[in-house]
Every structure is written in structure tokens, then in C-alpha cells.
């Protein structure tokens, strides 16, 4: 398991540029090595920060047709609801790059619109299982869970990542790849989320944290080893945290 690396950027703009460069480099590496790149998105501010990829030199150099896009967590609502992480990513980023639609793996739209979180989680896991059979996603020989190439994560002020919240049982789930929550402390309450062993089986995990609201949780994790959900983040190759100055202000 990779130990945690941390880089503090002077501003969100520089952090955003660094995320774009990191993502583009890994895209080039994995497209060359495997002919495809599996990238897992979260919700929140991340999509804004990814927008540098819509500009030169990335826009025309990335092999978008080889991308396969997933969500580490998703809110269980209609896909055109402003709460939807899929909608957020589609509107702000994915609709602007030529990734084939079939390579964008959203949660089941019908069950999501019905608010059936449990079934959405089951179906998302089935989707991942099918992609394992099709050799799009490998199983990690070390952990025996699916191994994505890169996950781009964010952390909430309470230290949550994905939809793994402090004091909620989802953080301990190991017998599933995808689980659900119906009482999320961050609205909306119904969500699905990849489980911790899947998150930590990823080759590269990039946690991006900005703003002073997150500074306390950053300090609890980095200085006091408090076991908040995000403190459990690891990766097979690299576990890197990108912070802006505000998020790092209590370190």
C-alpha cells in the first residue's frame, strides 16, 4: 500500500492545473500500456478543477476515446436533478470531450429516479462485474478487488470521502464493491458509494481538498492521525493529497 504524499498549492488555480497535469500524464501512461484508462470521479468541486483539461495542451492531446468513466459515489436521484453527480460531470466536463457515451458508466437511471438506493448499488456492482469479465477493469492480484487506474476524490469538512461518512457503517463494508446509504448527513440522504477496499485498490488516488472549512479535518488526519474516513485512503501505487493553502492552514 502506498504511503500518503501531500502537496500544498498557493491557489486553487495552481491546484487545478496540477490535477489536469496529473490526470493527463496517467491517461497517457495507461492508454499506452493498456489501450484504455479507467478514471473514477466524485462530486463536489472536483468537476470545476477538472476544467483545465478542456484547454490546451490537454484537450487535443488526451486520447479521450480510450477513457472509461465511473463515479466513486452518486446521489440517488433523477439524472437531470441538480444533485446528480452524473449531471454535474456531464454538464461541466464530460459533454465537452469526445468520450464515447458507452464508456460513461452512470448509475441505473430508472432506479435512481425511483429513489431505490439499494438496487442502484446492486446494479452498479453488476456493471463493474461485467466490465471485469470484459477485461476493462482488472482485479487487483493483491487485494482481489477491482483496480481502477485513477480515482479523483474530495473530502468533506467532517472527513468523509466518497459517501463514507464518520459514524456510519458503510466505511466497514468489505463484502461488497458498492454499497448504499439512505441517511447521509450531507444531502441528499440517498446515495451509493464504492466501498473502502475498492477505493484503496485503485492504482492512483488523488484527494483534492480546498477551503478553510476542510482545514480542521485535514489537521485531524495529518497531525493527529484521527481515523476519519478519508484517513483510511490508500492506493496500490500512489496516494497523493493536493491541498490549497486554506485547507492546509491548520497544519
Q: Report whether 243 contacts 18 (CB < 8 A).
A: no
Separation CA 194–CA 164 (nearest Å): 9
- Give 227's contacts (C-beta < 8 A, 6+ positions apart): none
201 by Cβ neighbours in 10 Å (0-12 / 13-18 / 19+) ranks as buried
Q: Which is nearer to ligand 6PG, 139 or 251 (CB)?
A: 251
User: Residues binding ligand 6PG: what is the number (CB under 6 A)?
Assistant: 15
Residues 189-208 touching ligand 6PG, rule: CB under 6 A, are none
Q: How far is the CB of 204 from ligand 6PG (least distance, A)?
A: 17
User: Considering the rule CB under 6 A, would residue 146 count as an interface residue with ligand 6PG?
Assistant: no
Q: Angle at CA 189, nearest 5°, toward 187 and 194?
A: 100
Torsion of CA 172, 175, 178, 181, to 10 degrees: -50
CA distances from 98 to 27, 116, 166, 244, 251 (A): 14, 31, 37, 30, 40
Q: Which is nearer to ligand 6PG, 38 or 163 (CB)?
A: 163
Q: Which is nearer to ligand 6PG, 75 or 119 (CB)?
A: 75
Binding residue for ligand 6PG (CB under 6 A) from 39, 46, 53, 62? 46
Q: Please choose, out of 52-60, 157-165, 168-176, 221-229, the segment that lies near ligand 6PG by the rule CB under 6 A.
A: 157-165
User: Considering the rule CB under 6 A, would residue 186 count as an interface residue with ligand 6PG?
Assistant: yes
User: Considering the rule CB under 6 A, would residue 43 count as an interface residue with ligand 6PG?
Assistant: yes
Residues that bind ligand 6PG (CB under 6 A): 42-46, 73, 75, 85, 154-156, 160-162, 186
Amino acid at each position: 500500500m502506498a504511503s500518503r504524499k501531500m502537496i500544498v498549492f498557493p491557489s486553487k488555480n495552481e491546484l487545478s492545473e496540477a490535477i489536469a497535469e496529473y490526470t493527463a500524464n496517467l491517461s497517457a501512461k495507461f492508454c499506452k500500456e493498456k489501450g484504455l484508462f479507467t478514471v473514477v470521479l466524485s462530486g463536489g468541486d472536483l468537476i470545476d478543477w477538472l476544467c483545465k483539461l478542456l484547454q490546451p495542451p490537454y484537450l487535443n492531446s488526451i486520447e479521450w476515446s480510450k477513457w472509461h468513466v465511473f463515479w466513486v459515489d452518486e446521489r440517488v436521484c433523477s439524472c437531470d436533478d441538480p444533485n446528480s453527480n452524473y449531471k454535474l460531470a456531464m454538464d461541466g466536463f464530460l459533454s465537452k470531450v469526445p468520450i464515447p457515451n458507452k464508456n460513461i458508466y452512470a448509475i441505473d437511471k430508472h432506479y435512481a429516479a425511483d429513489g431505490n438506493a439499494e438496487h442502484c448499488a446492486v446494479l452498479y456492482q453488476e456493471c463493474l462485474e461485467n466490465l471485469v469479465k470484459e477485461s476493462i477493469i482488472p482485479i487487483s492480484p493483491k487485494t482481489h478487488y477491482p483496480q481502477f487506474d485513477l480515482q479523483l476524490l474530495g473530502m468533506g469538512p467532517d472527513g468523509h470521502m466518497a459517501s463514507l461518512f464518520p459514524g456510519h457503517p458503510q466505511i466497514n463494508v468489505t463484502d461488497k464493491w458498492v454499497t448504499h446509504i439512505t441517511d447521509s448527513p450531507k444531502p441528499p440522504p440517498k446515495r451509493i458509494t464504492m466501498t473502502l477496499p475498492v477505493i484503496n485498490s485503485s492504482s492512483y488516488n488523488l484527494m483534492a481538498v480546498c477551503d478553510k472549512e476542510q482545514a480542521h479535518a485535514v489537521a485531524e488526519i495529518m497531525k493527529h492521525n484521527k481515523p476519519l474516513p478519508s484517513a483510511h485512503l490508500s492506493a496500490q501505487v500512489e496516494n497523493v493529497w493536493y491541498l490549497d493553502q486554506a485547507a492546509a492552514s491548520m497544519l
